[in-house]
Amino acid sequence: MSIAKKTPTIQDVARFARVSTATVSRALSNPERVSEGTRERISDAVQATGYTLNQAGRSLRQRTSKTILVGLPDIRNSFFSTILDAIEREAALRGYGVLVCNRYSGPNPARRLGEYFLSHRADGLLLLDGSLDLEQLLELTGEPSAVPLVVACEEIPNAPFHTVKTDNPRAAAQATRHLIDLGHTRIGHITGPAGNVLRQERLAGFMLAMDEAGLRVLPDWIFPGNFMMESGYAAALQYLAMANRPSAVFAANDETAIGFLSGLREQGLECPRDISVVGFDDLAVALHYSPPLTTVRQPREKLGQLAAQTLINILEGNAEAKPLRIVLTSEMIVRSSTARYFPPPHS
C-alpha cells in the first residue's frame, strides 16, 4: 500500500527559511515589501520544498492572472515604444493585460523576474533582452516552475526558447552597401554596447559588406557606443580629433546617429556635405531630424504583435512544441543624410 506524499505547506517554507508564515505570505503576494535578503531565503525555501512553485503551476492552469510580463533592458530607449504598444494591443485583443519590468539588477536578474510568477501576478514572460544569463533563464523556465517564455528583439544564442527577431546582420550589411554604392570607401561604424547581441550582429554585417567590397576598416574607425545619443556625441568628438577620417559612418541605431550628427554640427561639419551617416531602427524622429536620416526600418509593430501572439498561444496550449524562430525582414529607408561621395581633387 503506497503512502501519499505530504503536500508542502506554507509552514514548511517558513521553517526552512527561518521566518514567520506571515513573512512568507507577504513575500509571495507583495515581494517589494520584503527585503532582498529575506526574499532570496524564501525563494530558496520554496524551491527546496516545492510549495509555491507547484502551487504556481496549478494557478497557471486553473486561475490564470491573464497577464503577461514584458522584460525590458532600458525603458528610456524610444525604440521599445512601438513594440510595447503592439504587445499591449495584441494582448488586449486576446483578453490579457501587460506588466512591464525595466532593467534588472543584482547577481540573478531572472530571480527578480521569477518573483512575478511566484506571486501569481503574471502567466508568461516576453523578454526583450538577450543579455540575461542562459542558465538562470533555464532555471526559471524549467520544472517545476516552467514559466512560459518568448524572446523578442535580441536572440539568446543556443537558447531553446521561442524567438521573434529581425534580420540584423543582413540589414547592417545592406546599410553598409548603400554607402559603398554611393562611392564611399572609408566607412566607420559606431557600435552598440559591449556584450550586446545586437552589437555583434550589426558589427558582423558591417564587416561582411566591407570585406566583400575589398575595403579595409581601420581599428579607430570602429567607435564604441551604447545605443544612447550621448555615445554618438562622444563618437563625434573622437571623429573630429582624427587625421584620417572616414567619409561615411554607419551607426548601430538612430539615437547614436543623431547624437553623432549633433556633435559634428557643433563644430561646423554638415551632413551630407562633409559626411554621410546611416542609422538603424527608423524611429519617428529619424524622418524629422535635419537632415532626415537614412536608416534601416525594423518592422517593430509586427515584431511586438507576433511576439505577443506567440506567448499567448503557448499560454493557451496552441503553440508548436518545437521552439519557433521567426526572423522578420527590415527595409532600407533612404533619406537626405547620405549622398554620393566625390573624392577631393589632388593639389
> Structural domain tally of the chain?
1
Q: How confident is the model at residue 187 (pLDDT cuts 50, 70, 90)?
A: very high
Residue type for 147, please?
V
User: Is 180 within a domain?
Assistant: yes
> By residue range, what is the domain housing residue 229?
168-298
Quote the CA–CA distance of 217 and 270 in Å, as a whole number. 23
Residue 61 scores a pLDDT above 50: no
Element (H, E) at 262: helix 254-266
Task: State the average pLDDT over residues 324-346.
Answer: 92
* pLDDT value at residue 252: 97
- The three cell numbers locating residue 215: 575595403
Is the Cβ–Cβ distance between 42 and 21 less than 8 Å? Answer: no
Greater pLDDT, 158 or 85:
85
Task: Return the percentage of the chain with pLDDT > 70, whole number.
Answer: 90
* pLDDT value at residue 58: 41
Tell me: the pLDDT tens digits for 17-55?
A: 888 877 877 776 666 677 877 877 887 787 777 774 444
Average the pLDDT over each of 202-206, 246-250, 312-316 and give the range with the smallest value: 312-316
User: Is 177 within a domain?
Assistant: yes
User: Is 290 within a domain?
Assistant: yes
User: Is 178 within a domain?
Assistant: yes
* pLDDT value at residue 75: 83
* pLDDT value at residue 186: 97
User: Is 249 within a domain?
Assistant: yes
Residues pairing with 97 in the sheet: 67
Instruction: Read off the CATH number of the domain in which 241 is found.
Output: 3.40.50.2300
Tell me: the pLDDT tens digits for 107-147?
A: 777 777 888 887 778 899 999 988 888 888 888 888 766 88
Instruction: Give Cα 176 to chain centroid, integer Å.
Output: 23
Q: How confident is the model at residue 60 (pLDDT cuts 50, 70, 90)?
A: very low
Instruction: Work out the number of other CB atoms within 10 angstroms of the CB of residue 17.
Output: 22
Tell me: the pLDDT tens digits for 302-329?
A: 999 999 999 999 998 887 778 889 999 9
Tell me: the pLDDT tens digits for 251-270?
A: 999 999 999 999 999 999 99
User: Is 136 within a domain?
Assistant: no
Please, which residues have CB within 8 angstroms of residue 49's CB and are 6 or more apart in sequence?
8, 12, 13, 16
* pLDDT value at residue 111: 77
User: Is 17 within a domain?
Assistant: no
Task: Report the chain's mean pLDDT, rounded to a whole number.
Answer: 88
User: Is 200 within a domain?
Assistant: yes
